[in-house]
C-alpha cells in the first residue's frame, strides 16, 4: 500500500463494489481507500515461490493458498496480502476471507512501514491466524511471527530452513529466494555451485 488517492471516506459496500470493476487494486482502512503500487520482479519471484510450494504441499487437503488477488477482511479494513493460506474456506464472499491461518507480506520501501505496524497489528488480531511472515526482497531475511510464540519475531537467513507450523511444511530459505536477484543471493549462489 503506497498511495492515498481519496481522503474522503466511503462505505465498505461502496469499496467492495468499486474493487470488482477497478483496474487497480485498493486497500481499505477506516473508510479510506489506498491504491496499491505494482510489484517488482523479485517481489513476484518470492510470492510465486511460496504460492507454488504451498500449493503442491497442500494438494488434497482442506488448506488452500492464495496470492495477492484475494483480500483479507480484518474488522473494517481490507488488505491484499502477498500470500495467504486459508483452511476449509467457508467464507460466504468469493472476493475475501476473514480466516487465514498464514499471511505473508513481501517488504518493499513503499510498504514496509504499513506491513510492520498497521497490518501486523490487524493480522495478529485475526483469531484463525497462526503465522505472520515478513520477507525482505532486497536482502535475505525471512521473519516469522507465530501465535504459539506470543508473536515474537524469529529470523531466518540463507542456509536456514523455515517451518510453517500451521501447515506442517519446511522450506529452505534458498528455495523461498529461488531466482531472486540481490547481493545476498549473488554471494550465496557461487558457494552452492562450488559445493556440487
How many whole angstroms from its chain centre is CA 183? 23
Which pLDDT belongs to residue 154? 98
Looking at the DSSP assignment, which residues form a beta bridge with residue 146?
Answer: 131
Indicate if the pLDDT at residue 158 is higher than 80.
yes
Which pLDDT belongs to residue 190? 74
CA distance linking residue 87 with residue 98, whole number of Å: 11
CB 70 within 8 A of CB 97: yes
Looking at the DSSP assignment, which residues form a beta bridge with residue 105?
Answer: 134
What confidence tier does 109 reach under pLDDT thresholds 50, 70, 90?
Answer: confident
Q: Which of 48, 46, 55 is nearest to 169 (CA)?
A: 55
Q: What DSSP letter does each residue of 131-165 carry, written as one string?
A: EEEEEESSS--EEEEEGGGTT-EEEE-TT-EEEEG
23: its cell numbers: 483496474
Q: Which residue has the higher pLDDT, 159 or 3?
A: 159
Q: Map out the domains of the chain with their CATH numbers.
A: 39-195 (3.90.1570.10)
Indicate if the pLDDT at residue 1 is higher than 90.
no
Q: Which residue has the higher pLDDT, 3 or 75?
A: 75
Q: Which residue has the higher pLDDT, 190 or 96?
A: 96
Which pLDDT belongs to residue 7? 63
122: Cβ–Cβ under 8 A, 6 or more apart, which residues? 74, 75, 77, 79
CB 36 within 8 A of CB 1: yes
What confidence tier does 4 reach under pLDDT thresholds 50, 70, 90?
Answer: very low
What is the average per-residue pLDDT within 135-145? Answer: 97
* Count of other CB atoms within 10 angstroms of residue 127: 7
Which pLDDT belongs to residue 2? 47
Which pLDDT belongs to residue 92? 74
* Count of other CB atoms within 10 angstroms of residue 146: 20
* CA angle, residues 144, 147, 149, in degrees to nearest 5: 75
Helices and strands per DSSP (H, E), number in the chain: 6, 14
What confidence tier does 193 reach under pLDDT thresholds 50, 70, 90?
Answer: low
Which pLDDT belongs to residue 194? 59
Indicate if the pLDDT at residue 101 is higher than 60.
yes
Q: Which residue has the higher pLDDT, 38 or 74?
A: 74
Which pLDDT belongs to residue 111? 87
* Count of other CB atoms within 10 angstroms of residue 106: 24
3-state secondary structure of 32: strand
Which pLDDT belongs to residue 3? 46
3-state secondary structure of 190: helix
Model pLDDT for residues 41-94, shown as the tens digit of each residue: 999 999 999 999 999 999 999 999 999 999 999 999 999 999 999 987 666 788
Average pLDDT, the chain: 91
Amino acid at each position: 500500500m503506497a498511495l492515498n488517492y481519496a481522503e474522503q471516506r466511503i462505505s465498505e459496500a461502496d469499496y467492495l463494489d468499486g474493487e470488482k470493476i477497478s483496474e487497480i487494486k485498493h486497500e481499505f482502512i477506516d473508510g479510506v481507500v489506498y491504491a496499491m503500487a505494482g510489484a517488482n520482479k523479485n517481489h513476484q519471484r518470492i510470492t510465486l515461490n511460496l504460492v507454488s510450494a504451498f500449493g503442491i504441499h497442500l494438494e488434497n487437503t482442506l488448506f488452500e493458498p492464495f496470492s495477492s488477488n484475494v483480500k483479507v477482511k480484518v474488522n473494517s479494513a481490507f488488505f491484499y496480502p502477498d500470500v495467504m493460506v486459508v483452511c476449509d474456506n467457508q467464507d460466504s464472499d468469493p472476493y475475501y476471507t476473514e480466516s487465514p491461518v498464514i499471511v505473508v507480506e513481501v517488504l518493499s520501501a513503499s510498504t514496509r512501514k504499513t506491513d510492520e505496524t498497521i497490518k501486523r497489528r490487524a493480522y495478529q488480531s485475526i483469531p484463525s491466524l497462526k503465522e505472520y511472515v515478513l520477507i525482505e526482497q532486497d536482502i535475505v531475511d525471512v521473519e516469522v511471527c507465530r501465535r504459539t510464540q506470543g508473536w515474537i519475531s524469529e529470523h531466518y537467513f540463507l542456509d536456514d530452513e523455515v517451518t510453517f507450523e500451521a501447515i506442517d511444511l519446511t522450506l529452505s530459505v534458498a528455495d523461498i529466494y529461488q531466482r531472486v536477484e540481490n547481493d545476498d543471493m549473488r554471494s550465496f549462489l557461487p558457494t552452492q555451485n562450488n559445493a556440487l
